[in-house]
């Protein structure tokens, strides 16, 4: 039975209080292929009440009980991996193999890492005759985005469960079907009723109701900086904790000693991965001025190797962007780059010539970009790379940090000592030296308007915990 038109509240699939449906669009062809229900404040009230009842018990479960639950979820998640991949591919346009290997794979990695962390995490330690304990913060509201849906669901749900919290999840209404499958996984795993609740809906309705709800102790939000500010404002009246993972405009500094033939194509692939829809994508490539033209030539070659097409088409490695709204935003920014005088190296406005339906963006590279241009300052969230020339590494560092964002930065050099020194100066939550492999155990989050708090592994777990000091715990 399909649960697409239902919500998961208090351990059961239920109909919305007020029926209202929304089409789910396949960005590969612009066709509606499913419908979901949109929730209301009344649905939020029901879910929060269920979560509050559940927390009274689940908040005091043992480490072993929560670990057993996580391990059951992991095994069922593996069993449903193909279903999850197909849902993600259709709802947000990820090429099929990428959806399975990366979109679904990263979710599994977060679940497994949290189980590993929970085994040995110290929830209590002595301090003289007193003791310090880490306790679950309570009932948490989780709002997740469409671009890496399972990544963000798992890196919120897993630490919330590990901490002993109860929760209400609102996934993006643009890419909601994977979350419905995830709720089915939670149900099959025997999650105690009310511990995990799912409501589909939009930000102004369900998101606002969750953020402002007095029964929610913490909001964990991933999405745009604009929406994150709205969540924080709605949460302020009840003084709840707000965790935010927001936008980015990540710099990729290629040092003068770098092998351009190696570094530039890697930088292009990093920028264009997931159709450019990653908040930590290296979208600003800084290159020495004397190597600028060569870097632009290499970037052109690398960009033109991408095969743009439908998510289910053979050979596609650059699917569509997620929606008409995103497509129009990206097109506007590409047009602004041309109008402001950047050199269009490849790509440009419009769809690829052989595609007349679907939200397809031409892989685009701009050169001779300056830091005051919109394409260098605004988060584009599409396959668009800006190449900025610099005259000294000091200038590159200053320009890289000259942004309201601070999520990630990238450094490419043969001089590891130099890279380590520069890494300390980057005002970002992550620094990547010479394209290292992704790690589920590293903290993830940003400085400045890229957010507050950290996710992944023990760093994410800490955000769902309160610290309590119990004085006089031992006799003096």
We report the CATH number of the domain holding residue 358 as 3.40.309.10
Same domain, 398 and 418: yes
pLDDT tens string 52-79 = 999 999 999 999 999 999 999 999 999 9
Question: What DSSP string runs through 108-151?
Answer: HHHHHHHHHHHHH---EEEETTEEEEEEE--EEEEE--SSSHHH
What value, to the nearest 5°, has the Cα angle with vertex 333 and ends 98 and 335?
Answer: 120
Same domain, 298 and 213: no
Same domain, 410 and 268: yes
Same domain, 208 and 139: yes
Question: What DSSP string runs through 319-332?
Answer: ---S-HHHHHHHHH
In a domain, 476, yes or no: no
In a domain, 1, yes or no: no
Give me 313's structure tokens: 């088409």
Q: What is the model's pLDDT at position 312?
A: 96
In a domain, 302, yes or no: yes
Rounded distance between C-alpha atoms, residue 35 and residue 315, angstroms: 29
Same domain, 21 and 166: yes
Nearest in space to 215 (alpha carbons), one of 46, 28, 59, 30: 46
pLDDT tens string 134-167 = 999 999 999 999 999 999 999 999 999 999 999 9
16-29 average pLDDT score:
98
In a domain, 280, yes or no: yes
Q: What is the model's pLDDT at position 476?
A: 60
Same domain, 223 and 313: no
- Split at pLDDT 50, 70, 90, the class of 290 is very high
Classify 57 as helix, strand or coil.
helix
In a domain, 475, yes or no: no
Same domain, 88 and 203: yes
Residue range of the domain that includes 363: 251-442
Same domain, 426 and 461: no
In a domain, 325, yes or no: yes
Q: Which pTM was predicted?
A: 0.97
- Is 279 catalytic? The answer is yes
Same domain, 466 and 333: no
- Please give the tally of structural domains in the chain: 2
Give me 389's structure tokens: 């020339």
Same domain, 292 and 427: yes
Q: Indicate which CATH number applies to the domain containing 25.
A: 3.40.605.10
- Is 208 catalytic? The answer is no
pLDDT tens string 272-286 = 999 999 999 999 999
Question: What DSSP string runs through 4-28?
Answer: TT-EEETTEEE--SS--EEEEEETT
In a domain, 31, yes or no: yes
CA distances from 162 to 81, 153, 430, 465 (A): 22, 14, 24, 10
Same domain, 173 and 51: yes
- Give the active site residue among 155, 279, 455, 458: 279
Spatial contact of 9 and 199, defined as CB atoms under 8 Å apart: yes
| End-to-end Cα distance, the chain | 62
Q: What is the model's pLDDT at position 194?
A: 98
- Split at pLDDT 50, 70, 90, the class of 94 is very high
- Give the active site residue among 245, 379, 455, 458: 245
In a domain, 2, yes or no: no
Same domain, 224 and 297: no
Residue labelled with tokens 């769809």:
351
Share of the chain above pLDDT 70, in %: 99
């Amino acid at each position: 039975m399909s649960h697409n038109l239902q919500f998961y509240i208090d351990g059961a699939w239920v109909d919305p209080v007020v029926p209202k449906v929304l089409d789910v669009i396949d960005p590969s062809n612009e066709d509606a292929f499913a419908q979901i229900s949109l929730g209301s404040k009344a649905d939020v009230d029901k879910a929060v009440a269920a979560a509050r009842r559940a927390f009274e018990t689940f908040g005091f479960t043992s480490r072993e009980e929560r670990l057993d639950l996580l391990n059951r979820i992991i095994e069922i998640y593996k069993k449903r991996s193909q279903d999850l991949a197909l849902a993600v591919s259709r709802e947000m346009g990820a090429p099929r193999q990428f959806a399975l290997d990366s979109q679904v794979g990263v979710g599994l990695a977060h679940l497994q890492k949290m189980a590993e962390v929970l085994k040995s995490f110290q929830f209590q330690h002595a301090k003289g005759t007193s003791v310090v304990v880490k306790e679950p913060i309570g009932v948490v509201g989780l709002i997740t985005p469409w671009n890496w849906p399972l990544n963000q669901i798992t890196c919120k749900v897993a630490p919330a469960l590990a901490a002993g919290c109860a929760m209400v999840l609102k996934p993006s209404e643009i890419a909601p079907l994977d979350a419905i499958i995830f709720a089915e996984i939670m149900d099959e795993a025997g999650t105690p009723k009310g511990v995990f609740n799912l409501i589909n809906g939009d930000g102004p309705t369900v998101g606002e109701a969750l953020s402002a709800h007095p029964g929610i102790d913490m909001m964990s939000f991933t999405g745009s900086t604009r929406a994150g500010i709205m969540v924080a404002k709605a949460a302020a009246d009840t003084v709840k904790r707000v965790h935010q993972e927001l936008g980015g405009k990540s710099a990729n500094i290629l040092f003068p000693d770098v092998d351009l033939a190696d570094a530039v194509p890697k930088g292009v692939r990093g920028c264009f991965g997931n159709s450019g829809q990653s908040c930590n994508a290296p979208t600003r490539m800084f290159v020495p001025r004397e190597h600028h033209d060569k870097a632009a030539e290499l970037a052109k070659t690398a960009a033109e190797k991408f095969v743009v097409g439908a998510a289910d088409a053979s050979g596609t490695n650059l699917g569509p962007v997620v929606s008409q709204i995103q497509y129009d935003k990206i097109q506007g920014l590409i047009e602004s780059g041309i109008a402001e005088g950047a050199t269009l190296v490849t790509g440009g406005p419009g769809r690829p010539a052989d595609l007349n339906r679907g939200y397809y963006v031409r892989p685009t590279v701009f050169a001779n970009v300056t830091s005051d241009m919109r394409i260098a300052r605004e988060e584009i969230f599409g396959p668009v790379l800006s190449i900025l020339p610099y005259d000294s590494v000091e200038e590159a560092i200053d320009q890289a940090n000259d942004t309201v964002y601070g999520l990630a930065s990238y450094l490419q050099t043969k001089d590891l000592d130099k890279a380590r020194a520069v890494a300390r100066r980057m005002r970002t939550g992550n620094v990547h030296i010479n394209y290292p492999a992704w790690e589920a155990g590293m903290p993830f989050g940003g400085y400045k308007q890229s957010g507050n708090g950290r996710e992944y592994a023990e760093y994410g777990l800490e955000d769902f915990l309160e610290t309590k000091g119990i004085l006089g715990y031992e006799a003096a």
